[in-house]
């Protein structure tokens, strides 16, 4: 904006200078003042008016250029905002898809593990009293870990987007703990 104002001022000054130093009428007079420059007042006024008009036009042009530049910046900012919004929507869709696939796969694995736990529980019931007594604490721990996994799986249904990784890690950890406990109990039963 300062550059435009400076350009307008320079143009006005230049026009004024040309009006002041343009062709002059020189005349002699009766008093012997030959060569004294006589400036036609109307000519100077006309040149000043022209300079003023040109300065106004230059100002209008500069104003239009600034407005056009501002419109361009606004358009580019809007385009960038739209692009960012689209990218965020895409990323959100990808996270939702990942969440859905993870939840489905984990629930399927949990069902399979539930069946194995039920089979293990039946084997323990068929075992002798001594084995039942030794395995009782292990089964309590196994069921507690299964309950923890159930809690974590319920979080998958209503996760906040910013907590997705935390929820995923919690479910994975709970599932891993349950699998490890199951493997340990199963091994203990087969060793007895």
Q: What is the mean pLDDT of residues 106-118?
A: 90
pLDDT of residue 5: 58
CB 183 within 8 A of CB 151: no
CB 152 within 8 A of CB 169: no
- Distance, CA of 80 to CA of 72 (rounded, Å): 12
Write the DSSP assignment of 53-66 as a string of letters. HHHHHHHHHHHHHH
CB 123 within 8 A of CB 189: yes
The alpha carbon of residue 38 and the mean position of all alpha carbons in its chain are separated, in whole angstroms, by 71
pLDDT of residue 8: 62
Q: What percent of the chain has pLDDT over 70?
A: 77
Burial 66-76 (b: 16+ CB within 10 A, else e): eeeeeeeeeee
pLDDT of residue 111: 92
pLDDT of residue 24: 46
Q: Where are the domains of the chain?
A: 2-191
CB-based contacts of 20, cutoff 8 Å, min separation 6: 44
Q: How confident is the model at residue 4 (pLDDT cuts 50, 70, 90)?
A: low
Which is more confidently placed, 131 or 153?
A: 153
pLDDT at 182 over 80: yes
- The beta strand positions in 31-152, using DSSP E, are 36-38
Which is more confidently placed, 22 or 110?
A: 110
Q: Three-state SS for 160? A: coil
Q: What is the pLDDT of residues 5-64, one digit of tens each?
A: 555 655 656 655 565 555 544 444 444 545 556 667 888 888 888 888 988 888 888 888
Mean pLDDT score across all residues of the chain:
78
Q: How confident is the model at residue 192 (pLDDT cuts 50, 70, 90)?
A: low
Q: What is the mean pLDDT of residues 80-93?
A: 80
């Amino acid at each position: 904006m300062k550059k435009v104002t400076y350009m307008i001022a320079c143009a006005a000054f230049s026009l004024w200078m040309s009006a002041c130093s343009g062709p002059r009428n020189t005349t002699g007079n009766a008093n012997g003042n030959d060569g004294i420059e006589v400036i036609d007042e109307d000519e100077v006024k006309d040149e000043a008016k022209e300079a003023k008009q040109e300065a106004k036009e230059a100002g209008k042009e500069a104003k239009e250029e600034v407005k056009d530049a501002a419109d361009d910046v606004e358009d580019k900012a809007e385009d960038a905002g739209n692009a960012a919004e689209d990218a965020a929507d895409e990323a959100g869709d990808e996270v939702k898809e990942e969440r859905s696939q993870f939840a489905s796969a984990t629930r399927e694995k949990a069902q399979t593990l539930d069946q194995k736990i039920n089979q293990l529980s039946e084997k323990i019931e068929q075992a002798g009293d001594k084995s039942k007594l030794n395995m009782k604490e292990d089964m309590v721990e196994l069921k507690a870990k299964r309950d923890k996994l159930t809690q974590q799986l319920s979080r998958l249904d209503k996760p906040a987007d910013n907590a997705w990784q935390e929820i995923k890690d919690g479910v994975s950890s709970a599932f891993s703990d349950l699998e490890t406990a199951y493997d340990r109990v199963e091994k203990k039963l087969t060793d007895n």
